[in-house]
């Protein structure tokens, strides 16, 4: 149960989930290395799909941190690991609503999503997504977000605010 008496759809004992209580409730949702290596998106997809219930969606709009656990011993960035990229792209084919949910005050989750879901080029000490690739990616994700907003009955004000938040995060990103 949540503080307001609404049933919580998440089993917080699930190792894919971590609720962070601070000024507001955040949801850290993680895929696992085992899921990636087996190519099994179903456990993480089931957790993501729980977010689509209207009350839950609104509660976690802009409050989800997403990543993959289990690669701490691998020196590569996650977007350099081919299995991670393939797994994320398969997950994205089933769940495209990242921009509605992902927390953008810290670029971490958004950068992870961008670099695993977009083709990029390696440059000394970094990776870069070509501007046209990034533009197409952002447009596709905003379309998905807007479809979800319509399904949820969100107001235009909410839709525009969320769009601004996402775009401002990209504008502030280095490089």
Domains: count for the chain: 1
Q: Is residue 135 part of a domain?
A: yes
Q: Is residue 11 part of a domain?
A: no
Q: Is residue 3 part of a domain?
A: no
pLDDT value of position 23: 55
Q: Is residue 147 part of a domain?
A: yes
User: Residue 12 pLDDT more than 60?
Assistant: no
Q: Is residue 10 part of a domain?
A: no
Q: Is residue 34 part of a domain?
A: yes
Q: Give 3 or 24, the one with higher predicted confidence.
A: 24
pLDDT per residue as tens digits for the range 30-61: 999 999 999 999 999 999 999 999 999 999 99
Average pLDDT over residues 98-108: 90
Whole domain around residue 33: which residue ranges? 17-172
Q: Give 9 or 75, the one with higher predicted confidence.
A: 75
CA distance 76 to 46: 28
Residue 124: which pLDDT band, with cuts at 50, 70 and 90?
confident
- Lowest model confidence (mean pLDDT) among 30-44, 113-127, 145-159: 113-127
For residue 29, what is the enclosing H or E element?
A: strand 25-32
C-alpha angle 42/47/48, rounded to 5°? 95
Q: Is residue 23 part of a domain?
A: yes
Q: Is residue 8 part of a domain?
A: no
């Amino acid at each position: 149960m949540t503080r307001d008496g609404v049933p919580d759809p998440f089993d917080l004992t699930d190792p894919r989930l971590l609720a962070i209580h601070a000024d507001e409730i955040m949801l850290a949702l993680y895929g696992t290395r085992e899921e990636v290596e087996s190519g099994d998106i179903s456990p993480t997809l089931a957790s993501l799909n729980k977010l689509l219930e209207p009350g839950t969606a609104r509660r976690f709009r802009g409050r989800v941190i997403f990543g993959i656990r289990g690669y701490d011993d691998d020196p590569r960035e996650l977007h350099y690991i081919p299995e991670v990229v393939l797994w994320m792209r398969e997950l994205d084919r089933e769940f495209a609503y990242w921009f509605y949910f992902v927390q953008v005050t810290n670029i971490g989750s958004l950068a992870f999503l961008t670099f695993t879901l977009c083709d990029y080029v390696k440059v000394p000490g970094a990776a870069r997504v070509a501007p046209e690739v990034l533009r197409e990616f952002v447009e596709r994700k905003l379309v998905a977000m807007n479809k979800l907003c319509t399904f949820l009955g969100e107001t235009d004000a909410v839709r525009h605010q969320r769009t601004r938040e996402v775009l401002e995060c990209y504008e502030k990103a280095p490089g």
